[in-house]
Amino acid sequence: MRLSPTRAIGAALLLGAAVAVPAVTAQAAVACRVDYAVASQWPGGFTGNVTVRNLGDPVNGWRLTWNFTAGQQISQAWNATATQSGTAVTATDAGYNAAIPSGGNTTFGFNATGTGTGSTPADFALNGVPCTGAPVTPTPTPTPTVSPTPTPGPRNTFTNPIKSRGPDPWLTQHGGYYYLATTTWNSTITMRRSRTLGGLATAPDTVVFNLAGRANGCCNMWAPEFHLLDGPNGKRWYMYYVAGQNVADFNPTQRLHVLESAGTDPMGPYTFKADLGGDWQLDASVLRHGSRLYLMGTYNPGTQSLFITPLSNPWTISGSRVRLSSPTYAWERQTAAVAEGPEPLYHNGKTFVIYSASACWGPDYKLGMLTLTGADPLNPAHWTKHPTPVFQRSDANSVYAPGHNGFFTSPDGTEDWIVYHANSSAGGGCDMNRSTRAQKFTWNADGTPNFGTPVRLGTTLTSPSGESAS
């Protein structure tokens, strides 16, 4: 799931593109300065940062355009949506940063192919108006005749668990609601939604798809994930899940499958789209790198390992499966050697995969981390494994086997959160008694995630920033 990164880090090569921008209609006195910087470079690519500083009237909704030189092509952006046609680039606000007050600024970044040196982007324009090169005097505003805006009230709070019987959770914040799906271990895929994170604990489960009668996957539904991706008819939700046959020894029959929504409501309706492979695979997720999609999951080529496979669209495999990583460290092999549940995480131009390690039926199930340190996600040598776990059991907090995680952002886009399941005793198993929990995480100075320690059930936590009061 893609997070909106905050500020990029690294030494910046300031190229000094100082510009002023007139306003669009009804904003007659707006100007800005644009600072463009190359934060880092590597063979064949670079990371760029852009800061728009408002020197005039407030802007509410922005679109910044400029021209690159030939050979420079944006592949990924954060804190903005970036598109490119030829050398012409358009970056639009990400919604939560649409407003730029007088004297304020907004920053976004991107990864691009080509070289970041030797040329400065030209012809910056804001909201279609060419830059003029000078600040302007803000338009006077009349004295307000209304009462001052009241001070915002206290933020919501919640306690874990947010679902008591909720293994393998997937949580998305979309359109003012939180949506949560978890393993059901039966023939249904269910989802619950709530305006508040804490409200998920009592929200009803709604069946969004029934698997009954499907020969290749009628039963034993595990690990649902739903991603909003480009389909042939525009944006659609694609629901990836595991299901198998109604037999006593069902585990060998478990396979990956995908559904497609009819519109942009995460709760569907959904129709069956495709089977994804014909052998034992679990824990599907989708990695986005540049303009490409990749299917990730776990399989067993002798030792349960992580895999990655290219996709030509959200439901079609277009290349060979590659073993990405196997459990080699002792902490990945407690109770049993397992690597599963890979989940992409993006921050300031870096791509991580957070995965679950060791046996889910033991108390030492935990999270490990891979970092993409090369350019090709299909090349295992371009990934670097962190030598120690990044999230693990806390006996002091009575949290055991924390794993099978996902990520989401706060409603205002300023906070990053992890969702995961765990047990409350060392004797807990790999079953429906695992509960869904969520907590905020931060970032280390080197740009890697800091998930902290799993919190004790019942601890009062501040809800995500920007959450509705109801």
User: Is 0.85 surpassed by the pTM of this model?
Assistant: no
**Reported confidence tier of residue 133, pLDDT bands at 50, 70, 90:** low
What does 227-244 look like in DSSP terms, one character per residue?
A: EEEEETTEEEEEEEEEEE
**Reported confidence tier of residue 152, pLDDT bands at 50, 70, 90:** low
What does the alpha-carbon distance between residue 431 and residue 184 come to, in Å, rounded to a whole number? 10
pLDDT tens digits for 169-222? Answer: 999 999 999 999 999 999 999 999 999 999 999 999 999 999 999 988 999 999
- Mean pLDDT over 394-421 rounds to 97
- Mean pLDDT over 91-96 rounds to 75
What does the alpha-carbon distance between residue 435 and residue 423 come to, in Å, rounded to a whole number? 7
The answer to whether domain 13-130 and domain 157-462 are alike in fold is: no
pLDDT in the model for residue 118: 52
- Mean pLDDT over 367-394 rounds to 98
Contact 404, 431 (CB under 8 A): no
DSSP label at residue 253: G
**Reported confidence tier of residue 140, pLDDT bands at 50, 70, 90:** low
Active-site entry in 260, 332, 340, 415: 340
pLDDT in the model for residue 16: 36
pLDDT tens digits for 32-77? Answer: 788 787 766 767 777 777 878 878 788 888 888 888 888 888 877 7
Average pLDDT, the chain: 87
- Mean pLDDT over 113-129 rounds to 74
What does the alpha-carbon distance between residue 180 and residue 188 come to, in Å, rounded to a whole number? 14
pLDDT in the model for residue 213: 94
Q: What are the extents of the domains in the chain?
A: 13-130, 157-462
Give the count of alpha carbons within 13 A of 364, CB side only: 12
pLDDT tens digits for 99-111? Answer: 787 777 787 878 7
Q: What is the CATH number of domain 157-462?
A: 2.115.10.20
Is 265 an active-site residue? no
Q: What is the CATH number of domain 13-130?
A: 2.60.40.290
**Reported confidence tier of residue 7, pLDDT bands at 50, 70, 90:** very low
Name 293's bridge partners. Answer: 288, 311
Q: Is the pLDDT higher at 371 or at 89?
A: 371
pLDDT tens digits for 229-273? Answer: 999 999 999 999 999 999 999 999 999 999 999 999 999 999 999
**Reported confidence tier of residue 282, pLDDT bands at 50, 70, 90:** very high
Place of tokens 């914040």: 173
Is 332 an active-site residue? no
Active-site entry in 35, 57, 93, 168: 168
Contacts of 150 (CB under 8 A, 6+ apart): none
